[in-house]
Amino acid sequence: MSRPRPSRLSLLLADVDGTLVTHDKVLTERATRAVRALRGRGVRFAITSGRPPRGMAMLIEPLALDLPIAGFNGGLFVAPDMSVIEGHTLEAEAARHAASVIRDHGLDLWVYAGTDWLLRDPGAPHVAREQWTVKFPPKVTADLDSALDHAAKLVGISDDLDLVARCEGAVQQALGSAASAARSQPYYLDVTHPQANKGGVAEWLSRHLGIPEGEIATIGDQPNDVLMFRRSGFAIAMGNASPEVQAQADAVTASYDDEGFARAVERFFLDGAPA
């Protein structure tokens, strides 16, 4: 997009994985200082992720988060004390249809319903790493279908990245406006309520905080972050983002393993000074 930075930015909305934290899911001290310095310039800070809200709880204290947290890509908004503000679950028919397409493509299926993360095989790819990331274990069950009646998010998982991309297109075509389907990582396909997407998060925060969308900056690295890029006044892509995602942003920062988040805050909000 390559729009110039607006003269006034009142909120920075950040993705978490691949953006705010490193490849090893570490929140660096420099990133923490950057958020503190951001507030010192009168700019508010919020986060959104495909993670469940409780999977972001470890970020609340170090970042002194004081705004609603958007989990499940906007499927569930919670206060910093984890009390629910607003939520969107998939229609049961849409959830069942999406689960069928995911299975037909040979992807593993996870279901998030209520506060539970449900799956069939705890030894499947990415389960152990996800558990370490979100800091709570999944519930193992042979019956995922019963949870589809009240699911906040489905995830299709595979290390065949081309297969995940094809499945994304197939779910989008099959469900149309009945769900939002986008990759949150090259190996994760997230399926949520149609209003539960990161563009909707930017719109929701704009409305609830009384901040015009043109005064919101966004930063992210994945295709599902592009929707919030489009609902903000200034969009920053991470250096680890694909060329396609970078092309949808107004600026590109360094990689998440090279303090890309902190560098972006310093460059665009702190006059280039280290936080």
Position 172 scores a pLDDT of 97
Dihedral (C-alpha) 124, 15, 2, 33: value to the nearest 10 degrees? -130
Name 17's bridge partners. 21
Q: How far apart are CA 215 and CA 178, in angstroms?
A: 30
**Domains of the chain from N-terminus onward:** 11-87+197-269 (3.40.50.1000), 92-192 (3.30.1240.10)
Place of tokens 């920075």: 12
Q: Which pTM does this prediction carry?
A: 0.84
pLDDT at residue 161, rounded to an integer: 96
Pairing of strands 151-157, 180-185: unpaired
Distance (Å, whole) CA 87 – CA 77? 6
Position with higher pLDDT, 272 vs 67: 67
Residue 1 confidence (pLDDT) above 80: no
Sequence-separated (6 or more) residues with CB below 8 Å from residue 19: 219, 220, 221, 225, 238, 256, 260, 261
For 89-119, b where at least 16 C-beta lie within 10 A, e where not — what string? Answer: bbbeebbebbbebbeebebbbbbbbeeebbb
Give the separation between CA 193 and CA 195, rounded to whole angstroms. 5
Distances (CA, A) of 66 to 41, 206, 209: 16, 15, 12
Per-residue pLDDT at 62: 97
List, as own/partner pairs, every contact residues 87-90 make where C-beta atoms lie below 8 angstroms and the sequence separation is at least 24, other chains included. 87/152, 88/152, 88/192, 88/193, 88/195, 88/196, 89/113, 89/150, 89/151, 89/152, 89/193, 90/148, 90/151, 90/152, 90/153, 90/154, 90/179, 90/191, 90/192, 90/193
**How confident is the model over 138-151, as a mean pLDDT?**
94
Contact 239, 258 (CB under 8 A): yes
Report the percent of the chain where pLDDT is more than 70.
Answer: 100
The mean-pLDDT minimum among 19-23, 75-79, 153-157, 180-184 falls in: 180-184
Q: What is the pLDDT of residue 77?
A: 95
